[in-house]
Copies of this chain bind each other. A is one copy, B any other.
């Protein structure tokens, strides 16, 4: 690989440029001709497919069903829940024409589907027998992002799933919100190897139209924090305007209780920001499209025999459901291949050459620690399985260390500011609960309340903004 094909900037020296080079050069994304829009290239899409399969399976196992909703939503539906509409209005793309004709009513390009879904829920739900209704949609959402776009993190269109449910009572909806947050946490921690902090959003930061929003937040390597996933309790805020009513066993009519929740491709961006290094991506084995890349090392005279051996090893690994591939392209040198797969973040590389074959061995190179070792061919499958597990847990552990050592406490606004400027990360501080204090902290530090822990400590110290003693401890951070 030539120098300019690799990552030319250090992660620690220019994080933003490093990130952009990583996502573009590894073949994850490319820019679309329209500003703010991106393409997901095959390597990026393959990661998304793996993530999707894992979550889809979990959702189906917990009784959710998939469906399809149109991408165009009539304006009149979007305006039905006022807070919701006001929140999304500035970033909605509007279809006003078809062919050469003006449309009678403008159509919004889906910023999210609550309004459309719930106009249908009101048709589908009439009895307690129709509940719970638990639907999910794998699609894309569009929100015009003109300024500060960042591939996968902030774009005008993003892939995601959006779940929409309706329940007979408030507590069942509470449980659904919690169940989903748990599934997201499992996906992000156990598969993407990214530790999270979970809790509630403040009223200011919650989803427009929600009763409350629960959320997972993670730390990126530059000290900024990122919202990873949200799960909302909608109360009856939508069921009333949309008239989602059911006849209960007691023959009384009630409005349904609802939830909505989503996770997007931004977690792929997080994956890169958290785990990558100066050479490029490092992917956790569980979500890496290629878990083991086999590079046959040969000269002209040994070509056939070494390639055949590489192919045999690949088959052996694949028979044990290990995603192994052989890079047997003649038009690139071994060194070029090493650099390319390193940049793409494949967790384990296996080199095989004529000398190894004579010794009945394979050379393995870990992407995360760069360790190299030789294993006997007969032990290859077992060793690979063990190493992949080690890589997975090592990646989570080191990200967890990062998170813990960058989670600090500040007892004053000045202290909060100095921590944020010095290291970033999450900062636990006491807050009285008032919006005016939240706004003041934002104004002075540009940090938001990222999360109100479910078990927030009370009255640890005075509110860092107003000095009131009646406080809870929340996490502040500067966010993407």
CB <8 Å contact, B67 and A37: no
Any B CB within 8 A of the CB of A97: yes
Which of A70, A92, A142: most chain B Cβ within 10 A? A70
Taking a contact as CB atoms under 8 Å apart, the answer to whether A89 and B96 are in contact is no
Q: Please, what's the 1-or-0 string for A430-457, where 1 marks a CB less than 8 Å from any CB in chain B?
A: 0000000000000000000000000000
- Cβ of A144 < 8 Å from any Cβ of B? yes
CA distance A41 to B93 in the complex (A): 26
Contact A94–B95 (Cβ < 8 Å): yes
B72 and A49 contacting across the interface, CB-CB below 8 Å: no
Number of interface residues of A (CB under 8 A): 54
How far is A37 from B66 in the complex, measured between Cα atoms in Å?
Answer: 18
A374–B211 Cα gap in the complex (Å)? 55
**Are A72 and B157 interface neighbours, CB within 8 A?**
yes
Q: Is A4 positioned at the interface, with any CB of B under 8 Å from its CB?
A: no
Those of A120-150 within 8 Å (CB) of chain B: 120, 123-124, 129, 135, 140, 142, 144
For A177, the chain B residues whose CB sits under 8 A away are: none
Is A49 a contact partner of B66 (Cβ separation < 8 A)?
yes
Main secondary structure of the interface of A (DSSP, over half): mixed
Check: A98 CB closer than 8 A to any chain B CB: yes
A34 within 8 A of B: yes
Q: CA separation between A354 and B123, bound complex, in Å?
A: 38
Please report the C-alpha to C-alpha distance between residue A33 and residue B44 in the assembled complex, in whole angstroms. Answer: 35
Is B67 touching A140 in the complex (CB atoms < 8 A)?
Answer: no
Contact A42 B135 (CB under 8 A): yes
B30, B95, B135: the one contacting A120 at CB < 8 Å is: B30
Q: Which residue of B lies closest to A65 (CB)?
A: B42
Q: Which residues of B contact A123 (CB under 8 A)?
A: 30
Is B71's CB under 8 angstroms from A46's CB? no
In the complex, per-residue mask of A92-125: 1 if CB is within 8 Å of any chain B CB, else 0: 1111111110000001010000001001100110
A72-B33 in contact (CB<8A): no
Chain B residue at minimum C-beta to C-beta distance from A115: B33
Query: A183 in the interface, Cβ–Cβ < 8 Å?
Result: no
Q: Does A38 contact B (CB under 8 A)?
A: yes
Q: Which of B95, B157, B331 contacts A70 (CB 8 A)?
A: B157
Q: CB of A40 within 8 A of chain B? A: yes
Contacts A42-B135, A77-B33, A107-B93 given; does A68 touch B159 at CB 8 Å: yes
Say which residue of B33, B98, B120 sits within 8 Å of A93 (CB atoms): B98
A17 at the interface (CB under 8 A from B): no
Q: Which residues of B contact A369 (CB under 8 A)?
A: none
**Which residues between 148 and 191 of chain A lie within 8 Å of chain B, taking CB atoms?**
156-157, 159
- Tell which of B41, B49, B140, B331 touches A71, judged by Cβ atoms closer than 8 Å: B140
Query: Which residues of B are found within 8 Å of A33, using beta-carbon distances?
Result: 74, 77, 116, 119
CA–CA, A48 to B138, complex, Å? 13
Decide yes or no: A99 and B109 within 8 Å by CB, A33-B74, A41-B67 being known contacts: no
Q: Is A85 an interface residue (CB 8 A)?
A: no
Considering the complex, give the chain B residue whose CB is closest to the CB of A40: B68
The yes or no answer to A9 lying at the interface (CB within 8 A) is: no
Produce 1/0 per residue, A43-61, CB < 8 A to B.
0111011000000000000
Instruction: Check: A5 CB closer than 8 A to any chain B CB.
Output: no
User: Is residue A378 within 8 Å, beta carbon to beta carbon, of the partner chain?
Assistant: no
Residues in chain B near residue A335, CB distance under 8 A: none
> A203 interface residue, CB < 8 Å from B?
no
Known contacts A109-B109, A129-B331; A34/B98 CB under 8 A: no
A109: B residues at CB distance < 8 A: 71-72, 95, 109
Given contacts A91-B99, A98-B93, A46 and B66 within 8 Å (CB-CB): yes
Query: Are the C-beta atoms of A39 and B69 separated by less than 8 Å?
Result: yes
Q: Known interface pairs A33-B116, A65-B42, A70-B38. Does A99 touch B89 (Cβ–Cβ under 8 Å)?
A: yes
Minimum distance in angstroms from A12 CB to a CB of chain B: 30
Complex contact A32–B93 (CB within 8 A):
no
Q: In the complex, A72 Cα to B135 Cα: how many Å?
A: 26
Are A142 and B39 in contact (CB-based, < 8 A)?
A: no
Measured in the bound complex, the distance between the Cα atoms of B65 and A40 in whole Å is 11
Given A30-B123, A45-B65, 9 extra CB contacts under 8 A: A32-B116, A34-B72, A39-B120, A42-B66, A71-B140, A90-B99, A91-B99, A95-B109, A99-B144
The 4 closest A-B pairs by CB, nearest first: A40-B68, A42-B65, A98-B144, A37-B70
